[in-house]
Structure 1
Amino acid sequence: MKFTVQDIATALGARVEGNGALRIDRAAEPDDADAGALALAMDPKYGEGLTRGAARAAILWEGADWQAMGLEAAIFVPRPRYAMSGLTRLMDPGPDIAPGIHPMTVIDPSARIGEGAAIGPFVAIGAGAVIGPRARIASHVSIAEGAQIGADALLMQGARIGARVRIGDRFIAQPGAAIGGDGFSFVTPEKSGVEQIRETLGARAAQEAQSWTRIHSLGAVRIGDDVEIGANSTIDRGTIRDTTVGNGTKIDNLVQIGHNSQVGDHCLMCGLVGVAGSVRIGNRVVLGGQVGVSDNIFIGDDVIAGGATKIFTNAPAGRVLLGSPAVKMETQMEINKAVRRLPRLFAQVAELQKAVFKRAGD
């Protein structure tokens, strides 16, 4: 697929200088760009790479002298990283899923498939399921009974949609995503050691042997519009009420959201985030990689938690968190500085002890 430089600039709402009719077939880093590539040199630090490549056109930073760089055309964007979203959307052909329904797919007669859907081989769609118009479903996807998926969905290979799950429009599930599995919920006939310790913060009575009994999940999962779920991420269905994910939320790979949790709109959850059960998360919350969230707590709107933060208690709106246990980011930075000073402090204390003992012995 080829584009003119002007096509690309128009899609980005950007300005072109030079030959806008020049044709481009791909994007590339400056060093790797050939004559048919658009070099991405949106920061001065990448400008030198243009001399090592063979690009004729590039996206540049404002004020760059494109002619001195030997280019025939240049696109100037006000916010380079945001421009990447438009450029990649324009150039991404998406998965190759043939229109229509593949003959090796199994669809229950009571399921409803929207107009213009493309469904690959080895897909299973259960009784009463509803698939919206223009959905694209890759191979080996399973959609259980009663599930509903909105318009323009994209389900990649091996995604699993559980029973009664309801999903909005423009949903994306990356390979292996599993939505609507049972919640991890078990109980013992008498109070377990875990329950006692939660109450006492350490003390526990002598324990008799007990076995764990499953609490079944009668709820489902509800997901809003424009949500993306990463590869091998999981969202458990609720015990009684549904687990929910709001509009526009993006979830990275290997993320776990526990049963009964409620995630707000336009949140961002990076890889290996773990959210325990019955957590309420507000809108526009960002959780960095490996963040852990304890069960039955609330995280307010616009909270940002840095990578590997462990959130054990409620977090007020707008708070920026870091560390384990989570504290304000500036507090954690001071803690980190103090920890780095400890060896020097210990050495100073040892010297003082020697001096005190020497004077005491005189």
Structure 2
Amino acid sequence: MKFSDIVEQLGMAETSSLEAQPNLDPAIVGVTAIQDSLPDTISYVEGQQFAPYIQTTANAALVLPVDEALQAQADAQGIAWISTQQPRLGFARVIALFYQPFQLSPGIHPTAIIDPTATIGKNVAIGPYATIQANVTIGDNVCIHPQVVIYPEAQIGAGTTLHASCIIHERAQIGERCVIHAGAVIGSEGFGFVPTAQGWEKMHQSGIVVLEDQVEIGCNTAVDRPAVGETRIGHNSKLDNLVHVAHNCQLADNCVLAAQVGLAGGVELDSLVVLGGQVGVANNAKIGKGAQAGSKAGLHSSVPAGSVMMGTPASPYRTYLKSSAIYNRLPEMHRTLKHLQKQVADLEQRLGQIDK
């Protein structure tokens, strides 16, 4: 693919080297990271830590921020470039020109087990040993990889991909163009038990899980159904591997949860919430729009919109930094305190002798 073709298909360049050097139009065969560059490939620069690589890269082309100094460096090295306000987004779209995830060809593998009451749409691919149970509805252009299990009455929206060995439990509703990665479980039983004099009695989980359109679920993630009502993951939200979403949680649109996040029952996330790895959120906490929590933060109560939280228990980012600075000085402060306590005790003893 010629560099000029990439510029045209990308459609988001503020400017490019083609304007001044139309003959600098290399053939591009793939994408690489700039620090691991190869000839005839394209990469990107975002952030000053990667800018020095422009001097040594083997890349034939780069996606750059709108920065005349970086553009001049690329020109000096004979590198074609595209400039955009969002170079990482631009590079993501360039990758899509060269790479598409593996998908099965439409058709049903002879080892797949499909209940006769299931409804299967057009151009559906169903891989080996997949199991589709009674009254399941599969939309058009769905791809079901090997050993997927879909329980009765589940609904799978058009264009969704279910990767190998994921499980969709009964009555779950999966939207259009979702991606559920290997080993994920959607609609598993919520953790519901009632204490009695004899011990714990199970509360059956009769609710459902709803994934809205364009949701992506990582490997080995579990989204639990509730006793009543629904657990909902909002439009275009992205969950990493090993995330746990408990019963009755409600995620609005465009939330991002990194690996090993755990949401207890009834948690509500407003739109655009970002939770770093291993963040834990307590029962029924409400996290406001655009709030963020750093890795391993423990959110024990509700968080206002736009907050940036860190630590366990979580506190606002600036407070956390101040507390962390003090924490690292605790041994020194402890020694100082013991010394001051001894001085105070000596002074009290002397004052006591004077009073006598």
Relative to the length of structure 1, the TM-score reads 0.87
Cα offset for 1:48? 4.1
CA spacing shift, 1:95–1:20, aligned 2, 3 Å: farther
Structure 1 residues 54 and 320: CA distance shift in structure 2, 3 A: closer
Quote the Cα distance in structure 2 between the aligned partners of 1:25 and 1:155.
Answer: 30
Alignment of 1:37-116 (within 5 A): 37-43=41-47, 45-50=49-54, 52-61=56-65, 62-63=67-68, 64-65=71-72, 66-71=74-79, 73-116=80-123
**1:132-189 CA distance string (max 9 Å, x none):** 1111221111111111111111111111111100111110111111101111111121
In 1: Cα distance, 2:219 partner to 2:160 partner: 16
Tell me, in whole angstroms, the C-alpha distance in 2 between the residues paired with 1:43 and 1:325: 32
In structure 2, distance between residues paired with 1:155 and 1:312 = 34
Tell me which of 291, 295, 316 is aligned to 2:279.
291
Name the structure 1 match of 2:196: 189
Q: What is the SS of the residue equivalent to 1:116?
A: coil
Aligned pairs for 1:75-224 (under 5 A) are 75-190=82-197, 210-224=198-212
Distance 1:270 1:35 in 2: 34
Mapped partners of 1:267, 1:356: distance in 2: 55
Retained in 1: the 8 A contact 2:238–2:256? yes
Q: Is the Cα–Cα contact under 8 Å of residues 63 and 91 in structure 2 kept in the other structure? A: no
Q: CA deviation at 1:315?
A: 2.2
CA contact (8 A) 2:44 2:87 kept: no
The residue number in structure 2 matching 1:340 is: 328
Deviations along 1:93-121, one digit per CA (max 9) or x if unpaired, are 21141222222211111111211122221
Closer/same/farther in 2, CA of residues 282 and 95 from structure 1, 3 Å limit: same
Deviation at 1:43, TM superposition (A): 4.7
> SS of 1:188's equivalent?
strand
Q: Which residue of 1 aligns with 2:32?
A: 28
Structure 2: stretches of 5+ with no match in the other structure: none
Residue by residue over 1:237-295, the C-alpha shift from the partner in whole angstroms, topping out at 9 and shown as x without a partner, is 11111111111111111000111221111111111110111222222211111111111
More deviation, 278-287/349-358: 349-358
Residue identity over aligned pairs, in percent, reads 34
The secondary structure found in structure 1 opposite 2:9 is: helix
User: Cα gap change, 1:45/1:340 in structure 2, threshold over 3 Å: closer, same or farther?
Assistant: closer
Aligned-pair Cα RMSD in Å: 2.1
Cα offset, 1:50, TM superposition: 4.8
Given the alignment, which residue of 306, 309, 312 partners 1:324?
A: 312
**Following the alignment from structure 1 to structure 2, what is the Cα–Cα distance between the partners of residues 353 and 227?**
59
The equivalent residue for 1:5 is 3
- The amino acid across from 2:81 in the alignment is A
Is the 8 Å Cα contact of residues 154 and 172 (structure 1) preserved in structure 2?
Answer: yes
SS at 2:123 equivalent? coil
Q: 1:117 to 1:325 in 2, by over 3 A?
A: same
Is the 8 Å Cα contact of residues 257 and 275 (structure 1) preserved in structure 2?
Answer: yes
Cα distance change on mapping 1:299 and 1:41 into 2, 3 Å: closer
Query: Aligned pair count?
Result: 340
**Corresponding residue for 1:16?**
16
Aligned position for 1:229? 217
Distance in 1, Cα, partners of 2:319 & 2:35: 42
SS at structure 1 position matched to 2:327: helix
Q: Is the 8 A contact 1:11 1:86 kept in 2?
A: no
**3-state SS of paired residue (2:322):** helix
Deviation sequence 1:206-254 (CA, Å, 0-9, x none): xxxx422111111111111111111100001111111111111111110
Q: Deviations over 1:44-90 (max 9, x none)?
A: 5435435544332222343222231133x222222122223312333
Partner secondary structure for residue 24 of structure 1: coil
SS class of match (1:169): coil
One-letter identity of the residue aligned with 1:306: G
Counterparts of 2:312 and 2:156, CA distance in 1? 38
Between the aligned partners of 2:224 and 2:129, the Cα distance in structure 1 is 24
Taking the aligned partners of 1:336 and 1:31, their CA distance within structure 2 comes to 34
Partner of 1:207: none
Would the alpha carbon gap of residues 221 and 356 (structure 1) be closer, same or farther in structure 2, given more than 3 Å must change?
A: closer
Secondary structure, aligned partner of 1:49: helix
| TM-score w.r.t. length of structure 2 | 0.88
